[in-house]
Amino acid sequence: MAVTKVSVEALRILEPLSSLAHARLKELAQLCCIESVRRTADPFHLRPIAGQSVYVVRGELALAYGQGSSEVIVGGSAEARYPVGKRREITSAKAVTEVQMIRIDDDLLDIMLTWDQAVMQEPNRVNQPAGRPASAPDWGNMSRLFGIDNLRFGAFSHLPPAHINELLRRFERLAASAGEVIVREGAEGDYYYLVESGRCQVERMIGGVSMTLAELKSGDTFGEEALVSQAKRNATVTMKTDGSLLRLSNQDFDVLLREPLLHAINMEQATQKVLNGAQWIDVRYPSEYQYDRLPGARNIPLSEIRNAFGALDMDEEYIIYCQSGRRSAAAAFLLAQRGYRALLLEGGLWGGDRLP
């Protein structure tokens, strides 16, 4: 079964892809392929159709449905502009001739369509803070911040669709200069930030010495830990280059991001989930963990949680805890932003009886 890259032109004639902007189609073209199927073969025998939108772009594909109905989809026809098997369940499929098809992940397509339809309604909706000029962004053709990878796995991947319009409306956009301090360690948390362009440096005072912790780029976020845990800023973030940032106030952050992403359960519910395969993650310092941990818990301190992105299994469910629930709330939010199934132990170890 041969596989080749798909062109933007091939995607543009398909529905509902035809409504997507050129930049979106170009991104999508990098993520899907044209699949060749030999004559008489069943294209869905080894690769099932479930969870996919499949388009016939060349050749003839015979499809059988329940109750004896059937049809032949011919590549290039009006019917072939739409994905097969979406209205009726396919019971069997056979290539009448050699067939070429395009497969697209349904979740990916739904995310793209949701965001594009949301931003098309009002393309220039970011608020401009007084005294901080910046051109109004075109959301549909924005930098990597709203690229496909970020929408699938980044800060907005689990945002309820109902909140998208309001989120875009409430963002403020700031032009920032190299060397400018955006947040300072020890200050109150007031905004959540996303880097639209440029790079930032994250530093923290350790033993009286300023240590560089990370460098942030377009699409990265910062400031959420202080807002979720209702604590002081734990690091200083400085612009390393000129760039632009999007920020969301503390109040808007709580309503539009924190509440949808942060899900708390009590000890009884958490214990049952652990019995069913979920894993405890203790985000306290190792000294606290060694002294007072739950059985089977894994220790990933809050300061190290970002380093766990990619190392933790996306298919696992995690119950995050600390002493009071404050540090674990920040960790659970950071994990949920990246698409992990992370739940917060309500009230932490101080919040109720220690059932385990």
Rounded to an integer, the average pLDDT of 146-166 is: 65
pLDDT top residue among 34 and 146: 34
In this model, does residue 356 exceed pLDDT 50?
no
Rounded to an integer, the average pLDDT of 193-208 is: 90
Task: Pick one of 3.40.1280.10, 2.60.120.10, 3.30.9.10, 3.40.640.10 as the CATH number of 125-258.
Answer: 2.60.120.10
Superfamily assignment of 3-107 in CATH?
A: Jelly Rolls (2.60.120.10)
Q: Is 322 a catalytic residue?
A: yes
Q: What is the pLDDT of residue 106?
A: 84
- Residue 122's pLDDT band (cuts 50, 70, 90): very low
Q: What CATH number is given for 262-350 in this structure?
A: 3.40.250.10
- Residue 215's pLDDT band (cuts 50, 70, 90): very high
Strands lying side by side in the sheet with 264-265: 264-265, 341-345, 317-321, 279-282, 298-299
Q: What is the pLDDT of residue 1?
A: 47
Q: What is the average pLDDT value for the chain, to the nearest integer?
A: 83
Query: What confidence tens digit (pLDDT) does each residue in 82-104 have?
Result: 999 887 889 999 999 999 999 99
- Catalytic residue selected from 32, 33, 200, 322: 322
In contact, 35 and 52? CB cutoff 8 Å: no
In this model, does residue 164 exceed pLDDT 90?
no
Query: What confidence tens digit (pLDDT) does each residue in 39-70 have?
Result: 999 999 988 998 888 999 999 999 999 888 99
Query: What confidence tens digit (pLDDT) does each residue in 123-139 have?
Result: 445 555 554 444 434 44
Rounded to an integer, the average pLDDT of 259-285 is: 92
In terms of average pLDDT, the best of 90-94, 150-154, 207-211, 338-342 is 90-94
- Residue 181's pLDDT band (cuts 50, 70, 90): very high
Q: What is the pLDDT of residue 123?
A: 44
Q: Where in the chain is the domain with CATH 3.40.250.10?
A: 262-350
Of 47-56, 146-155, 343-352, the range with the lowest mean pLDDT is 146-155
- Residue 145's pLDDT band (cuts 50, 70, 90): low
Q: What is the pLDDT of residue 274?
A: 96
Q: Where in the chain is the domain with CATH 2.60.120.10?
A: 3-107, 125-258
Q: What Cα–Cα distance (Å) separates residue 21 from each residue in 116, 151, 166, 354?
A: 8, 16, 21, 53
- Residue 263's pLDDT band (cuts 50, 70, 90): confident
pLDDT top residue among 24 and 116: 24
In this model, does residue 278 exceed pLDDT 90?
yes
